Structure 1
Amino acid sequence: MSVYAVTYVYVTDPDRLAEVRPEHREFLRGLHESGTLRVSGPLPATPDGEPGGALLVVEAEDATGALELLAADPMRREGLVAHRAAREFVPVIGGFAA
């Protein structure tokens, strides 16, 4: 297994994002408890207009597997993820380092 950094860019719909967030977090808690999600958290919108999103660090066989792991995320299911991408992450210092 390798480690992948997955980024989400959310649509601009604060009410819907807030409505779905509890189910989204419950989904992610399940992945964390199973050991496939190492950490996740929001990437807030920036003052210059970049939309908010999220960073999720997961273990998977490849980038496709990392995205498949998150395919059932309620944020994605509800059409609130405008873009997502996975890229291998190789931690060398800190809590994720091997």
Structure 2
Amino acid sequence: MATFAVQYTYGANTDAARDRFRPEHKDFLAGLYESGRLRVSGPVDGGALLIFEGASADEVAALLDGDPFRREGLIAERTVREWTIFFGGLK
């Protein structure tokens, strides 16, 4: 399995909708975390950073297609990039 960094950029004027769908979004991510696929995640200015384990960028993107924030059109941009960790690690 490789490590992937996923960057979400939220759409403009989506604060209220994100608040409404946040519980479902958090439950979705909790399931990915419990399965061992999502390693860490959290908000960054204007979006979120999520670190995943997966076989490919396409596989990780497909997992995230089920995110309620995506379903509701709250994510303006999503990037999935393989990340090679040289120092440290995620255990």
TM-score by length of 2: 0.92
RMSD of aligned alpha carbons: 1.2
Q: Give the unaligned 5+ runs of structure 1.
A: 45-51
Residue of structure 2 equivalent to 1:11: 11
Report how many residues are paired: 90
TM-score by length of 1: 0.86
Alignment partners' CA distance in 2, 1:25 and 1:91:
26
Alignment partners' CA distance in 2, 1:69 and 1:75:
13
The correspondence of residues 70-85 of structure 1 with structure 2, limited to 5 A, is 70-85=64-79
Secondary structure of 2:40's aligned partner: strand
Q: Deviations over 1:34-61 (max 9, x none)?
A: 00000111112xxxxxxx1111101111
Q: Deviations over 1:16-71 (max 9, x none)?
A: 11111111111000000000000111112xxxxxxx11111011111111111111
Letter in 2 for 1:27: F
